[in-house]
Amino acid sequence: MTPRANGRSAFADLRSWLSYLGDTERLQIIKPGAKLEFEIAGIANRFDGKKATLFPNVGEMGGTVVSGIVSNREWMAEALGIQNHELLDRFQHAVTNPVPWTQVENALCQQEVHRRPDIRALMPIPTHNEHDSGAYITAALLIVRNPKTGRQNVSIHRLQVSGPARLGALLLPRHTLSFQRAAEEAGEDLDAAIVIGASPASLLASQAIAPIDQDELEIAGALIGRSLPVTRCLNSEIRVPADAEIIIEGRFLANKRELEGPFGEFPQYYGEPAERHVIAVDLVSHRKRPWFHTIVGGSLEHLMLGCIPREASIIANLRRNFPEVRDVHLSRGGVCRYHLYIKFKKRFAGESKNVLLGAFAAHYDIKLAVVVDEDVDIHDLSEVEWAIATRFQADRDLIIVSDSQGSKLDPSTNDGVGAKMGIDATKPLDAPEMRFKRIRVPGEADIELESVVDSQTTLADIVS
Ligand code: MN
């Protein structure tokens, strides 16, 4: 068991984490009967970043929906049993030191089994944003196996409910798509498992930027500090987290595409409708009275899950060439993808510009990178702005790279092709010391305000 900085261990399943949030007054129970269409998403958004929400007795089956379970950085660190400042190093350590899972029988996620299911009758699936094409499963781990090696891949995809036993999926050009293509070229369907109600660690691990044959459930094991208990699917060889709430078993249909979208995505815009991949659902299993986790498109929860694994990968990538990179931050305003702030101790003249070039190479989504000195808090954007205001000149410190690969979901690009902007807001190494010396009052930070304030005397006492 990995020792924990604050003496608590990671939370290995959704319910133990939510009950801890409840104990610490960060879980808001909503009145029974909230509507699946828009009302759940609207209420969850109003609590986004402040409290997780639990909606009892929703939908025709009277199910339970939860949302906003990890909508900020501090909560994610707590869910992993670590301190906030350890998050990136701890995550990257898990990516490079995965822990194989352990197979168990009689898993909770298979307490009840439905063959030939109607998913809409079995679970409460919300409709989130105004122009979404309908109900979507948004917080599910999608697990498939490499048809050649049998190794698993775990990722999150938006899943449109297209019929009683049919889902539409958006597959970006990553691991799931390459396995699906390999199966399709052999003329075969690809088995898939959809896991709803996973732990924060498993959700975060699914977003790791890892090699193609790295099973992300092993990264989840490393994050919780022990082997993840998994069980075999009833219809396939796929292993799923045993303590999950709901498992949907199905197949990507070979050579089948159907209309999917629009859907409200992380940049706060709609992903366009197009002919996309189709999953036929064969079986649903679940815990007794399962909880259905939903992530509202564009919410902080949506952004945070992508943010931490990217920051961890970007900082590891940058440090290979620039060991003096101290911290990186993908800001919320940059949808936790596009704007990167880098804290760096410059050693050589011009080196900060090389760091900017390295940042653009570290992830294609980054379109603005700002590098600042060690005395700037990159998690406080007014500090970053101060550094730009006082250490940057546009004719000397600005880099622009045209027509490079960016995010297809950034509507200002030309189908994902756009410009990069790098801002070097570091001070020159050879500047006279006093020129960039930040003002400060000696002893200010050490003053104990309780010991200096006078709570007895009023202004009237003084003027009298
Ligand atoms: Mn993968």
The string of pLDDT tens digits covering residues 55-108 is 999 999 999 999 999 998 999 999 999 999 999 999 999 999 999 999 999 999
Q: How far is the centre of ligand 1, averaged over its atoms, from the C-alpha of 302 (Å)?
A: 18
What CATH code is carried by the domain that includes residue 111?
Answer: 2.30.110.10
Give the DSSP H or E segment for 172: none
Rounded to whole angstroms, the Cα distance separating 113 from 123 reads 13
Share the mean pLDDT of the chain: 96
Buried residues in 42-60 as b, exposed as e (16+ CB within 10 A): ebbbebbeebbbbbeebbe
Report the pLDDT value the prediction gives residue 7, as an integer from 0 to 100. Answer: 55
Residues 146 and 59 in one domain: yes
Last residue of a domain, one of 410, 425, 440: 425
Residue 441 lies in a domain: no
**pLDDT interval class at 173 (50, 70, 90):** confident
Q: How far is the centre of ligand 1, averaged over its atoms, from the C-alpha of 143 (Å)?
A: 10
Number of structural domains (the chain) is 2
Q: How far is the centre of ligand 1, averaged over its atoms, from the C-alpha of 270 (Å)?
A: 25
Q: Please give the share of the chain, as a percent, with pLDDT higher than 70.
A: 98
Average pLDDT over residues 351-367: 97
Residues 289 and 350 in one domain: no
**pLDDT interval class at 359 (50, 70, 90):** very high
pLDDT digits (tens, 9 = 90+) for 448-462: 999 999 999 999 999
Q: How far is the centre of ligand 1, averaged over its atoms, from the C-alpha of 214 (Å)?
A: 6
Residue 347 lies in a domain: yes
Residue 312 lies in a domain: no
Q: How far is the centre of ligand 1, averaged over its atoms, from the C-alpha of 91 (Å)?
A: 15
Identify the residue whose tokens are 């701890």: 90
Report the pLDDT value the prediction gives residue 2, as an integer from 0 to 100. Answer: 43
Return the DSSP state at 433.
Answer: G
Q: How far is the centre of ligand 1, averaged over its atoms, from the C-alpha of 188 (Å)?
A: 21
pLDDT digits (tens, 9 = 90+) for 186-215: 999 999 999 999 999 999 999 999 999 999
Ion ligand 1 residues within 5 Å by Cβ: 153, 175
Per-residue pLDDT at 378 exceeds 90: yes
What CATH code is carried by the domain that includes residue 419?
Answer: 3.40.1670.10
Residues 401 and 286 in one domain: no
Q: How far is the centre of ligand 1, averaged over its atoms, from the C-alpha of 177 (Å)?
A: 10
Residue 433 lies in a domain: no
Residues 336 and 408 in one domain: yes
Q: How far is the centre of ligand 1, averaged over its atoms, from the C-alpha of 55 (Å)?
A: 32
Q: How far is the centre of ligand 1, averaged over its atoms, from the C-alpha of 211 (Å)?
A: 6
Q: How far is the centre of ligand 1, averaged over its atoms, from the C-alpha of 100 (Å)?
A: 15
Per-residue pLDDT at 6 exceeds 60: no
Q: How far is the centre of ligand 1, averaged over its atoms, from the C-alpha of 13 (Å)?
A: 21
Q: How far is the centre of ligand 1, averaged over its atoms, from the C-alpha of 461 (Å)?
A: 70
Q: How far is the centre of ligand 1, averaged over its atoms, from the C-alpha of 95 (Å)?
A: 11
Residues 50 and 159 in one domain: yes
Rounded to whole angstroms, the Cα distance separating 90 from 79 reads 13
Helix axes 300-321, 351-362, angle to 10 degrees: 130
Q: Are 180 and 171 in contact (CB under 8 A)?
A: yes
Report the pLDDT value the prediction gives residue 10, as an integer from 0 to 100. Answer: 94
Average pLDDT over residues 156-165: 98
Q: Are 169 and 279 in contact (CB under 8 A)?
A: yes
Report the pLDDT value the prediction gives residue 228, as an integer from 0 to 100. Answer: 98
**pLDDT interval class at 127 (50, 70, 90):** very high
Q: How far is the centre of ligand 1, averaged over its atoms, from the C-alpha of 207 (Å)?
A: 8
Residue 384 lies in a domain: yes
Residue 308 lies in a domain: no
Q: Are 152 and 130 in contact (CB under 8 A)?
A: no
Q: How far is the centre of ligand 1, averaged over its atoms, from the C-alpha of 170 (Å)?
A: 15
Domain range for residue 285? 4-296
Residue 400 lies in a domain: yes
Q: How far is the centre of ligand 1, averaged over its atoms, from the C-alpha of 37 (Å)?
A: 32
Q: Are 166 and 192 in contact (CB under 8 A)?
A: no
Q: How far is the centre of ligand 1, averaged over its atoms, from the C-alpha of 228 (Å)?
A: 17
**pLDDT interval class at 4 (50, 70, 90):** very low
Rounded to whole angstroms, the Cα distance separating 319 from 177 reads 30
Residues 11 and 63 in one domain: yes
Residues 236 and 348 in one domain: no
Q: Are 403 and 417 in contact (CB under 8 A)?
A: yes
CA angle at 396 for the pair 395 and 400, rounded to the nearest 5°: 75
pLDDT digits (tens, 9 = 90+) for 236-279: 999 999 999 999 999 999 999 999 999 999 999 999 999 999 99
Average pLDDT over residues 419-424: 98
Return the DSSP state at 438.
Answer: P
N-term to C-term CA, the chain: 66
Residues 247 and 366 in one domain: no
Residue 434 lies in a domain: no
Residues 278 and 371 in one domain: no
Residues 339 and 266 in one domain: no
Residues 363 and 268 in one domain: no
Q: How far is the centre of ligand 1, averaged over its atoms, from the C-alpha of 192 (Å)?
A: 14
Residues 65 and 170 in one domain: yes
Q: How far is the centre of ligand 1, averaged over its atoms, from the C-alpha of 74 (Å)?
A: 25
Buried residues in 234-243 as b, exposed as e (16+ CB within 10 A): eebebbbbbb
Q: Are 156 and 306 in contact (CB under 8 A)?
A: no
